[in-house]
Amino acid sequence: MVPALVVFGYLAIVLYIGIFAFRRGKTSGEDFFLASRSLGPYIFLLSLFGTNMTAFAILGSSGLSYKIGIGVFGLMASSSCFVIPVTIFFIGTRLWGLGKKFGHMTQVQYFRDRWECSEIGTVIFVLTAAMLVPYLIIGTMGGGETLSSISTYTDAGGQTRHWVSYEAGAGLVAVVVMSYVFFGGMRGTAWVNTFQTTLFLCFGAIAFFLISQKLGGFGKIMTEMQNDPKSSVLLTRARIPTEEFFSYMFIPLSSIMFPHIAIMCMTAERVTHFKKTVIFYPLCIAAIWLPAVYIGTIGAHEFPGLKPGDTDDIIPRMLREYTGPLVSGILGAGIMACVMASDSQILALCTMFTEDVFAYYGGKDRFGEKAQVWTGRFFIVLVTVVAYVIALALKDKEGIFGLAIRFAFSGFAAMAPVMLAALFWKRSTKYGALASTLWVMGTVAFTGWLHMATEGLAKPGQPPVVIYESLGNLFLRTPVNVTMYGFLPVMPMCIGSAILMAVVSLLTRPPSRATLDKYFPPRKEPGVPAAVSQAVPAATPDGVKAG
């Protein structure tokens, strides 16, 4: 019961932070959706990092390490250590500049203005929103599972029971997240994310050392694992094909294309805040992922033979077993913090709806800015209720949403060439963007279907199975993935998206001279990059439609 009480206390704190942010806020749309673009350097770093840390970073990575070992760190963490800060450096700073200069709040607003397109912007909105929805459902499901997991007890009859049921846990987490997003908007979300990230960075390290001490020290455990033939393979990357390892380098390209990350980039007060962010970002990733991967790998040695569905529970299990109830509760709160990363996704979806649909199709002009903010708040409630109902109705179908997220990662990564072309290639066109977007839609749907249709085709420990004999090794099935010549689909998806963007743009007419001059103004002096190079006063969001 103690861990559950600690988590309840934690939920009360984040709720208070949200309401406190509400009292500090203003009534404008820019304040609600972007905290008036005024976040300081440390809040910006920690909230941007916290926004990127989902339940997978802790529970999923440790569960995967349980199965395939320490290679998970190189596979997902160290690749992100490089790719994410680089994309924030090159793309995030430019998005910030465009937001300051032209008042953009979302990616679609920028694309519509940059390429003089309306419907194509709507197509990108639909794809982006569709790929974001599974995260909200998984976030709600994760809340229910985490709360019921940390409130586990054994009754007098030896039966395992929960103080908090899945349904009550999911409902409670949904209400808390909805409340602080509803009241606090971006400011509340950023403050909560900062608090959550700090909590996890501190107590994650403490738990790491407590577990190690209880087991007799890292050296002893590692030597035992090295000498055990069953465990020693987990200290290598023998279970990860080299082609898949390479392909994973493309996945972090998705980060900057997630609407909540792109929108978060526009909240910094000054562009110089990005400097600390990109330098410390790799260190933050390592600080979170190293304990998670390490504990997951050790867990395979300490608790061998867990069923596939139970492996993601390895960190809570180790905490229950090797630490006291108070530490277990605090760490449970930390895990809850990651599960609750859905806050910024809800806010991003709401921002997109109010800016890309409500305001774009005239709602803001007709009903005013206050009505726009309240429409956003109503949308937050609606999205939360729908996600909760789906989380209850499809409780046993979590795997489908988990799968949807995996393919959404690839989809967002494959949209990165669209953003790069918009920012850095003057000659890019709306039809190039449309071709890339349709390619992403098609390939996400196809690879998702192929994955489900070939489920169970390959057995663990066996070589990959050819899916279509006539196509040779083009499509292979491993126990976990569909691959193309051994590479994950994300790689051909990104390359295909880039080629289509280039070829179709060259075949179609570029935007008008006025628009090109707006986004690529003539250079003032040699050596000064063109895009967003002119320092002008900040525009209102209405300026978006002026061009």
Partner 1 sequence: MKWLLFALIVAMVAIHQDFWWWKDSRLVLGILPVGLAYHVFYALLCSAMMWLLVKTAWPKELDELAPPAPKNPGD
CB-nearer residue toward partner 1: 185 or 432:
185
Cα 406 from Cα 481, distance rounded (Å) = 10
User: Does residue 94 belong to the site contacting partner 1 (CB under 8 A)?
Assistant: yes
Cα 107 from Cα 119, distance rounded (Å) = 14
State in angstroms the smallest separation of the CB of 242 from partner 1: 6
The piece of 65-73, 306-314, 364-372, 479-487 that touches partner 1 (CB under 8 A) is 65-73
CA 530 to chain CA centroid, nearest Å: 31
| DSSP designation for 483 | E
Q: Per-residue x/- marks for partner 1, 270-309, CB under 8 A?
A: xxx--x--xxxxxx-xx---x--xx---------------
User: Does residue 236 belong to the site contacting partner 1 (CB under 8 A)?
Assistant: yes
State in angstroms the smallest separation of the CB of 107 from partner 1: 18
Q: Which of 86, 172, 403, 480 binds partner 1 (CB under 8 A)?
A: 86
CB-nearer residue toward partner 1: 142 or 464:
464
The set of residues, in sequence order, having a beta carbon less than 8 Å from that of 28 and lying 6+ positions away, is 36, 369, 373
Cα 330 from Cα 325, distance rounded (Å) = 9
User: Does residue 377 belong to the site contacting partner 1 (CB under 8 A)?
Assistant: no
> Which residues does residue 483 pair with via DSSP β-bridges, in sequence order?
476
State in angstroms the smallest separation of the CB of 442 from partner 1: 27
User: Does residue 327 belong to the site contacting partner 1 (CB under 8 A)?
Assistant: no
Q: Is the Cβ–Cβ distance between 177 and 168 less than 8 Å?
A: no
| DSSP designation for 60 | I
In the three-class reduction of DSSP (H, G, I as helix; E, B as strand; rest coil), residue 39 is classed as strand
Cα 469 from Cα 312, distance rounded (Å) = 35
Q: What are phi and psi of 527, to 5 degrees?
A: 95, -10
Token pair recorded at residue 17: 């932070």
CB-nearer residue toward partner 1: 24 or 214:
24
State in angstroms the smallest separation of the CB of 168 from partner 1: 32
| Count of chain residues binding partner 1 (CB under 8 A) | 69
Q: Which of 67, 101, 114, 317 binds partner 1 (CB under 8 A)?
A: 101
Using the Cα atoms of residue 487, residue 489, residue 493 and residue 494 in order, give the sign of their dihedral. negative
Token pair recorded at residue 20: 């406190």
Q: Which of 222, 306, 386, 457 binds partner 1 (CB under 8 A)?
A: 222
CB-nearer residue toward partner 1: 238 or 507:
238
Cα 512 from Cα 429, distance rounded (Å) = 10
Binding interface with partner 1 (CB under 8 A): 21, 24-25, 35-40, 43, 70-71, 73-74, 77-79, 81-82, 85-86, 89, 93-94, 96-97, 100-101, 187, 191, 218-219, 222-223, 226, 232-233, 235-238, 242, 245-246, 249, 269-272, 275, 278-283, 285-286, 290, 293-294, 528-529, 532-533, 535-538
